[in-house]
Amino acid sequence: CGALVAGLFKQSTGGADKFIKQLGFTDLYLGSKEFPHKLGLAQTVPIPGLLSLQENFPVPIPQPIAEFLLKRMLVITGIVEDLPQQENRIEVGQDGKIRLFHKFHSYDVFRSRYYMTKLKRVFRSAGAILCFGAMGHKDDIHTSHQVGTTRFGKDPNTSVLDQDCRLHDHENVFVVDGGFMPNALGVSPALTIAANALRVGDIMLQKAII
């Protein structure tokens, strides 16, 4: 789950000409005094392309207006740490097809709603004259940073992998992608996944598995 806020500024932000993804902050990662709930990382993301903007804008807009908006926009996303849920899973049906089951927890939606409001305040403080917010809380839309499905743990009844990311019931099978993680921590998990893969590789070398 998460929040996405677009701000419109008087001056050009360079968003239409450059790949903007330089700003990130963790001030609200652990929440705040007024909102003592863990949130996650906030970071700017690239401005959507011209066609994407026209397709997703609340009302139809001519191309010249869309180009004007693009040059003065900044977009920021607030990544909320989703609660791990046993109901979210992947199964293989009797027909052999893979089925994905996914639903956001109400607590994830609650925190995302607050994050969206907070990020609007940040943009207004930075000089935005208009702010638009959206939440990625629909269960059937694309979500980022998918992890889990083969999470690790000590108990074979509640986990697929052991602490070394080896299948509990297959000593020669290791999983080193994001499947081992119960959740994505409220940040991009890419570096954590890479670091864990190196850790597992060292374990395999030490035990002469490869």
Predicted confidence at residue 183, as pLDDT, reads: 87
Give 60-79 pLDDT, tens digit per residue. Answer: 778 888 888 888 888 899 99
**Cβ atoms within 10 Å of 126's Cβ, excluding its own:** 11
Residues carrying an active site annotation: 145
Give 139-174 pLDDT, tens digit per residue. Answer: 555 567 788 889 999 999 999 999 999 999 998 999
| Mean pLDDT, rounded, for 90-118 | 91
- Report yes or no: 177 and 195 within 8 Å, Cβ to Cβ: no
Predicted confidence at residue 167, as pLDDT, reads: 97
Give 79-92 pLDDT, tens digit per residue. Answer: 998 888 888 888 89
Give 8-62 pLDDT, tens digit per residue. Answer: 999 988 777 766 777 889 999 999 899 999 999 999 887 777 777 767 676 777 8
Predicted confidence at residue 90, as pLDDT, reads: 84
- Which comes out higher in pLDDT, residue 15 or 176? 176
The residues, ordered by sequence, that sit 6+ positions from 208 with a Cβ below 8 Å of its Cβ are: none
Q: How far is CA 175 from CA 147, 170, 171, 178, in A?
A: 12, 11, 11, 8
Predicted confidence at residue 209, as pLDDT, reads: 64
- Report yes or no: 158 and 168 within 8 Å, Cβ to Cβ: no
- Rounded to the nearest angstrom, the gap between the alpha carbon of residue 80 and the centroid of all alpha carbons in its chain is 7
**Cβ atoms within 10 Å of 167's Cβ, excluding its own:** 16
pLDDT of residue 128 exceeding 90, the answer is: yes
Mean pLDDT score of the chain: 87
- Which comes out higher in pLDDT, residue 110 or 21? 110
